[in-house]
Amino acid sequence: AQDYHFGLEEGEGISELFDCD
């Protein structure tokens, strides 16, 4: 996964991406 560019911030995850925070 080193090659992958992770873009989510520290406090972000799948819950925020689906508006479930």
**Contacting residues toward other proteins, per CB under 8 A:** 1, 3-8, 11, 13-15, 17-21
Q: Which tokens is 6 given? A: 């992770």
Neighbour-count burial for 9-21, b at 16+ CB within 10 Å, e otherwise: eeeeeeeeeeeee
Task: Name the minimum Å distance from CB 3 to other proteins.
Answer: 7
Task: Name the minimum Å distance from CB 16 to other proteins.
Answer: 10
Task: Name the minimum Å distance from CB 9 to other proteins.
Answer: 11
Q: Which tokens is 7 given? A: 């873009």
